[in-house]
């Protein structure tokens, strides 16, 4: 098992009352799954994804990731854990505008303290695999949205993560670009065995996955 959420609660205090963002979430994810999280705005999709990605904390419950109890870990170890095993893809790509495509890809490796020669090899590999060698010296603003997201995915993959978390990865893309990205996810899932959890609004995109989780008001339905 890759990860397990047990009775996760998350709330904020508003006017003396608890407003629940996540309510009693139980979730088990096996390696190699492709899960889509769906639900209306404000249902807690992104919050759940962030909790899984360890970017956000929760108030109650247990979270085991590769049999480590995340809820007891200190920030530094948590950070080590997710930088090792998790890659993130965002709706608005979140590429660093000041870095070229190549440098954006290299960055996660820098934080993993990988040697220069090895970094070069991995980046070249990834550029090759995504067919963006010709764009390696361009800055993100010089690319189309689809191409930027392609780089985003490549960056998420470069650290060879076990899990990719994608928060509406196609939200800013047109339908053709969307299809390409989703096809890419499917291929990664099937051929490389990468576990993927995506948040999406689109039924069509959700169907690429092997399992759909529906949320409403922070509760799994």
- Site residues for another protein, 24-63, by CB under 8 A, read 50, 53, 55-56
According to DSSP H, which parts of the chain are helical? 45-52, 75-85, 101-111, 116-129, 145-158, 175-187, 203-206
Query: Is residue 68 near another protein by the rule CB under 8 A?
Result: no
Q: Is 120 in the site for another protein (CB under 8 A)?
A: no
Specify the residue, 95 or 173, whose C-beta has the smaller distance to another protein: 95
Residue 64: exposure state from Cβ atoms within 10 A (0-12, 13-18, ≥19): middle
Total residues contacting another protein by CB under 8 A comes to 27
Question: Shortest distance, CB of residue 179 to another protein, whole angstroms?
Answer: 26
- CA-CA distance, 189 to 31, in Å (whole number)? 10
* Contact characters 168-197, another protein, x per CB under 8 A: ------------------------------
CB-based contacts of 79-83 (< 8 A; 24+ apart in sequence): 79/54, 81/54, 82/53, 82/54, 82/55, 83/108, 83/111, 83/112, 83/159
Q: Measured from the CB atom, is 28 or 59 closer to another protein?
A: 59
Q: Which of 61, 64, 71, 112 binds another protein (CB under 8 A)?
A: 112
| From 107, 124, 184, 216, residue interacting with another protein (rule: CB under 8 A) | 107
Q: Say which residues have a Cβ less than 8 Å from residue 143's Cβ, sequence separation at least 6.
A: 101, 135, 151
Residues in contact with another protein by the rule CB under 8 A: 50, 53, 55-56, 75-76, 79-80, 82-84, 88, 90, 94-96, 98-99, 103, 106-108, 110-113, 155
């Amino acid at each position: 098992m890759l990860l397990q959420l047990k009775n996760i609660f998350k709330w904020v205090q508003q006017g003396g009352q608890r407003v629940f963002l996540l309510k009693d979430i139980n979730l088990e994810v096996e390696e190699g799954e492709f899960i889509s999280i769906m639900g209306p705005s404000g249902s807690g999709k992104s919050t759940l994804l962030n909790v899984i990605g360890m970017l956000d904390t929760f108030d109650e419950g247990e979270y085991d990731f590769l049999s480590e109890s995340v809820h007891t870990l200190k920030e530094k170890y948590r950070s080590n854990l997710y930088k090792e095993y998790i890659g993130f893809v965002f709706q608005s790509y979140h590429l660093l505008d000041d870095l070229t495509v190549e440098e954006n890809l290299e960055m996660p490796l820098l934080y993993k303290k990988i040697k220069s020669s090895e970094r070069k090899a991995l980046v070249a590999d990834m550029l090759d695999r995504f067919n963006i060698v010709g764009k390696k010296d361009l800055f993100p603003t010089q690319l189309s949205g689809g191409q930027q997201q392609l780089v985003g995915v490549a960056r998420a993959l470069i650290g060879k993560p076990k899990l990719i978390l994608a928060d509406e990865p196609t939200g800013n893309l047109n339908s053709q670009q969307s299809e390409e990205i989703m096809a890419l996810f499917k291929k990664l899932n099937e051929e490389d065995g990468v576990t993927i959890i995506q948040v999406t609004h689109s039924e069509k995109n959700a169907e690429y996955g092997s399992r759909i989780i529906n949320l409403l008001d922070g509760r799994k339905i």
